[in-house]
Amino acid sequence: MSLAMVVAIGVLFTIGVYLLLQRNLTRVLVGLGILAHGVNLMILNASSRFGTAPILDGREGPISDPLPQALILTAIVIAFAVTAFLLALAVRAWGATSEDFVEDDLEDRRIGSNRGGESP
Amino acid sequence: MSAELLPLLVAIPLGGAAISAIAKRNLGVQRVVGVVSVGAVFVLSVLAWLEADSGNPLEVDVGGWTGGVGIALAIDPMSGMILSIAMLLVLAVLLYAISQLGQDVLDWWFHPKYLALTAGVALSISTADLFNLFVGFELTLIASYTLLTVRSGGRQVRSTISYVVVNLMASMLFLLTVAFAYGTTGTLDLSDIVATLRSDNPAMLSVFSAMTLVVFGIKAALFPLYMWLPDSYPTAPAPVTAVFAGLLTKVGVYAIYRTQTLISEVDNALLLSIAAATMFFGILGALSQRDVKRILSFHIVSQIGYMLMGLGLFTLAGLAAGVAYIVNQIVVKTGLFLVAGEVDAEIGGSDIDAGSGLIKTRPWLAGAFAVLALSLAGVPPLGGFVVKFALINEGLVTGQWGVSAVALIVSVLTLFSMMKIWNGVFWGDRVGEGPGAKRGMRLVTGGVVVLSLLVALYASDLLEASLTAAESLLAAVGGGV
């Protein structure tokens, strides 16, 4: 694992987690996407060996471990599907409330105010 | 049956989902395809379970890839038992949903989504491989995201967003665990990962243990990771909530059982504290709510604590009691949400102030609720009592006084919050109008109630089967306790 790779993963995770903690749905979405990239790099780093493309056509030298690449492909497809779904959901939320803002739970606020507490 | 048939457990519902999507607005075809494929998976899983129970666990490496890099499916008494009962309830809820169609706003996409969910649950339970467990969870989750938004206005979208984001976060952690496990051990087979870690790198075993506990703890809604559940479940249509309540969190619990028993060096004090906190805070949430579905959703959380307690005791009898608890819980919880769906249809809302006096017009529904609620609270002679007794008895035998006391107190509080639903919705003058429950819905709810009574009648058989399942869990590590 090279140092550049480690730093890249760290940076991706930092940005991803920061964006995930925002109240703005679009930012959350982008954050999840970036986090997914960080995770994919982590899986790539889990390869047992690095080398040329894992195609058995008699070429020379060490070949890469193909399994993490297969795992990453699966993970990318899943992340893609979920991102598309979340985008559709964001559009629907926008249509319902004209806001791109994730709100508190109404029921929680109602119960909070029943107890004499102030509703946020 | 031969092990080569195991991939059919996943292939049949996935193929059914494809046919169902192609059939599009032809509801008749969709219904037949749905019932036939779920029924076929149920029959297959029972056959596999019986085979495994008689001492021949089934295992297959799909496509011939061995050595922890391919897709490995395995049915042992544990997975066979959970899979069979899960598929039976999936079938029941499908029939309920079909009879509800037309009065509910379930669109034609319901059937493909539901079958995809079935495939995901079947894969998660039957796989023996960490990455396929991830794929199974994702399949289940993506189907569940779309099912949650079947009919959604502004409120549903909001709660779905928190559900999706929390679960995606858990999925990222899961992938990190996969990367970590493969990078350290070079295999993805669950038992190989644990065996390699134990011999080469014992310190890393606890890292693996903690990571899987957090990941599956989010899916199973353990304290303090449960906040997404009561927020999102109640907003879905009744059959959807019923299948989520009965199955999804239990698949998470099943995964915790699988991984933690393999690792076998369990931190009992930690698990039992989490179990007690999950029971206690879950029931506190239920006590403060005034909506039938929300009260029941907090009960899901509370009951998860009992299942974890079985694991935390980590004796053969404790594990067996936990497994029996999971089986009973799948039946009872699904049944309660089916009742809640009927209540919704009768009084036109699920808030306990929305209507009352259902006992006058629907005495059988009130009876069904009473049986299921008392079973959940653990009142003799119902099934819930049998499994709870086995669990708490083992807690006292092993000297875990604290968690046993909490379990007993929470039982009383569970009964108390059930009384709230009873007084609000079933007792009093008949108020509240709704479209009314269809005959099919009543029949299915009745069937699930009968099933929960059968649990009590055949309690000794259930406990015996659970014991075999618990033995298979412990045998996987090649050692006892």
pLDDT at residue A111 in the model: 62
Residues of A in contact with B188 (CB under 8 A): 67
Q: Amino acid identity, residue A30?
A: V
Q: What is the pLDDT of residues B360-372, one digit of tens each?
A: 888 888 899 999 9
pLDDT digits (tens, 9 = 90+) for B321-345: 999 999 999 999 999 999 988 888 8
- Would you say residue B481 has pLDDT above 70? no
d(CA B276, CA B307) in angstroms, rounded, equals: 11
- Return the amino acid letter for B63: G
Instruction: pLDDT band for B475, please (50, 70, 90 cuts).
Output: confident
Residue A75 at interface with chain B, using a CB cutoff of 8 Å? yes
Tell whether the model's pLDDT for residue B314 goes beyond 90.
Answer: no
Whether B144 has its CB under 8 Å from any CB of chain A: the answer is no
Average pLDDT over residues B237-242: 84
Cα separations (Å) of B395 from B223, B319, B403, B412, B429?
Answer: 20, 11, 8, 18, 44
Q: CB–CB of B472/B57 below 8 Å?
A: yes
Please name the residues in contact with B126: beta carbons below 8 A apart, sequence gap of 6 or more: B6, B9, B10, B73, B74, B75, B79, B83
Q: Which of B19, B8, B83 lies closest to B46 in space, CA to CA?
A: B83
A103 has a chain B CB within 8 A of its CB: yes
Q: Under CATH, to which class is A3-114 assigned?
A: mainly alpha
Residue A10, pLDDT > 80, answer yes
Say what the pLDDT of residue A107 is. 62
Residue B466 has pLDDT above 80, yes or no: yes
Give the least confident one: B38-42, B211-215, B221-225, B255-259: B221-225
Highest mean pLDDT among A63-72, B37-46, B152-161: B37-46
- The pLDDT of residue B322 is 93
The answer to whether B459 touches B383, Cβ cutoff 8 Å, is yes
Q: How confident is the model at residue B256 (pLDDT cuts 50, 70, 90)?
A: very high
Q: Is A14 on the interface with B (CB under 8 A)?
A: no
Q: What is the mean pLDDT of residues B373-393?
A: 89
Dihedral angle at the C-alpha atoms of B265, B220, B323, B454, nearest 10 degrees? 170
| pLDDT above 80 for B66 | no
> Is the pLDDT at B13 greater than 50, yes or no?
yes
Which chain A residues contact residue B133 at CB under 8 A?
A: none
B39 φ, ψ (degrees, to nearest 5): -60, -40
Cβ contacts below 8 Å, chain A against chain B, sum to 86
Q: Is B53 on the interface with A (CB under 8 A)?
A: no
Q: Is the pLDDT of residue B64 over 90?
A: no
Task: Say how far apart CA A21 and CA A34 lie, in whole Å.
Answer: 13
A46 vs B171, B182, B289: nearest CB:
B182
Nearest to B301 by CA among B249, B260, B252: B249
Q: How far apart are CA B296 and CA B289, in angstroms?
A: 10
Mean pLDDT of A24-44: 89
Q: Is some CB atom of chain A closer than 8 A to the CB atom of B200? A: no
Q: Where are the domains of chain B?
A: 267-481
DSSP string computed for A51-81: -B----SS--S-B--HHHHHHHHHHHHHHHH
- The whole-number pLDDT of residue A8 equals 93
Average predicted confidence (pLDDT) for chain B: 86
B159, B188, B288 ranked by CB distance to A111: nearest? B288
Please answer yes or no on whether B154 and A28 come within 8 Å at the CB atom. no
Other CB atoms closer than 10 Å to residue B479's CB: what's the count?
Answer: 8
Cα torsion through B455, B459, B461, B467, rounded to 10: 110
Q: Is B145 part of the contact surface with chain A (CB cutoff 8 Å)? A: yes
* H-only helix segments in B289-315: 292-313
- Average pLDDT (A5-26) is 90
pLDDT in the model for residue B223: 84
pLDDT of residue B150: 67
Tell if the CB–CB gap between A107 and B175 is shorter than 8 Å: no
SS3 for B123-150 is HHHHECEHHHHHHHHHHHHHHHHHHHCC
3-state per-residue secondary structure call for B5-69: HCCHHHHHHHHHHHHHHHHCCCHHHHHHHHHHHHHHHHHHHHHHHHHHHCCCCEEEEECCCCCCC
Question: Helix, strand, or coil here: B74?
Answer: strand
Q: How far does the CA of residue A4 sit from the closest CA of chain B (Å)?
A: 18
Contact (CB, 8 A) for A13 and B172: no
Q: Which residue of A has its CA nearest to B162?
A: A102
